[in-house]
Structure 1
Amino acid sequence: MPTSASSRHPIREAIGPNYSLDAMHAAQEQTWRAVEAIAARIVPGMRESEAQALGEEILAHHGMELDWHPLLVRFGPNTLKLFSEKSDGDPVLGEDDIFFIDMGPVFGGHEGDAGATYVTGKDPEMAACAKAARTLFDKVRKIWHKGDVGGIALYEAAAHEAHKMGWELNLEVKGHRVSDYPHRALPPGGKLGTFEDVPGAGLWILEIQIRHPTRLFGAFFEDLLA
């Protein structure tokens, strides 16, 4: 089992003075509650910008202190976009559609980060894609739990598993560091997918983004390795 931040301090896993693994867990739990609350309010007929505004309102009601990265909601083909890319237009969510939520709020002085994909209607391939992103995350996390597997190897395993499952993994999405806020004031942690060492617990976000091999949609799932 990988060790926690309290016993590992390589430069890319540096933590701030207020870091607590319990506080990281608490921030992540609160983040997931907000993700689910937003997902429950997103319905067909809503524009992507409307869902974004609604999500920001819900986050404020959940006690978010600030966001260390902005909330992102993507509909339909925009689920293929990288975080750094702008959405194409302002699509309306359809009756048989797919969307994901990605957020990075601060709770209790620690950086939460969670994201998941949801579907409306009964499109079987969209439902399978949303489920596959979560399943692939779980497969890779189990590999990490066994220990002695570095971040680079984790993403190599993710690509291999995605291919076996019939999906394409976006290897431009490589995960990243989190800590007590602000982790960017610490020495650069970089991307999980470029980290040669075994990632410590409570420090890294594993991001999974896959796409359908022929249709214009994908799915996203991320959570804390802990």
Structure 2
Amino acid sequence: MPAAGRSEFEATDRIGDLARELWGTRVQWPGRIVRSGPHTVRPGSEEPPGARVLGPGDTVTVRLGPLLGGHGADFTRTVVLGDDPAGIRLRLHEDLPALFAAGRGVFHRDAGITGRELYAALGGLVGKAGWSLVGPHAGRLAGGTPSADPCCTRPESLIGPDNELPLRRPTPDGRQAHWSLELHLVDARSTFGGSHADLLDLP
């Protein structure tokens, strides 16, 4: 598990081992599961260089790819290691789930909302809270990973500015579309960040 003094790879391996011990499963997301400090600023699609060692005061993101009913999903949480005298990292830790809940509220209030509209609304909420939204999208169709399914990177499969389709719609294979909402925020100087991801339309 994430702890000061462990490298990101050590923490990643420990989480993978724990998943196998407890549930007989493995993490589905490519790359390292754990990122810390300045590595939390990079978009999820970019693999940070080197094996950074977690330190006191770091923000640490843990990104998992569980299988739910045989379909891939995204589950990410952010923690702060040790004390945070300035309080700004702890504020990010508190703001992430609150902004996620606000974004989910926007989705549930508008039955016809498109990916572009939700992405724009999220940008407004995040900016008002004093953070910046990172990356070209804020979520994707649940059911696969970009490395395993190229369809996951198409605009209509993302909560992003180029998706003009309603999020509530059937997928090409006839099932109801379900979405993972992925918030990746950074501070004004882009020195640290945090992420929060979970299913958007299911409890």
TM-score normalised to the size of structure 1? 0.73
**Residue 167, structure 1, aligned to residue 167, structure 2:** no
Question: Corresponding residue for 1:135?
Answer: 98
Q: Give the aligned partner of residue 42 of structure 1.
A: 2
| Identity rate, percent | 27
TM-score between the two structures when normalised by the length of structure 2: 0.80
Q: Unpaired segments of 5 or more residues in structure 2?
A: 169-175
1:49 and 1:180 map into 2 onto residues whose CA distance is 23
Distance 1:162 1:107, change over 3 A: closer
Structure 1: gaps spanning 5 or more residues: 1-40
1:214 aligns with 189
Q: Where has structure 1 moved over 3 Å in runs of 4 or more?
A: 64-68, 183-189
In the alignment, the residues of structure 2 paired with residue 130 and residue 65 of structure 1 have an alpha-carbon distance, to the nearest angstrom, of 28
User: Could you tell me how far apart the structure 2 residues matched to 1:81 and 1:186 are?
Assistant: 23
SS of 2:77's equivalent?
Answer: strand
1:24-35 aligned at under 5 Å gives the runs none
Shift of 1:64: 5.3
Tell me which residue corresponds to 1:104.
65
User: Is the CA contact (8 Å cut-off) linking 2:40 and 2:194 kept in structure 1?
Assistant: yes
1:77 aligns with 38
Post-superposition CA distance 1:84-107 (Å, at most 9, x none)? 212232221112111001111324
CA distance in 2: counterparts of 1:134 and 1:55, whole angstroms: 22
The CA RMSD over aligned residues, in Å, is 2.6
How far apart, in 2, do the equivalents of 1:93 and 1:126 lie?
15
Q: CA deviation at 1:202?
A: 6.0
CA contact (8 A) 1:202 1:225 kept: no
1:117 aligns with 2:78: yes
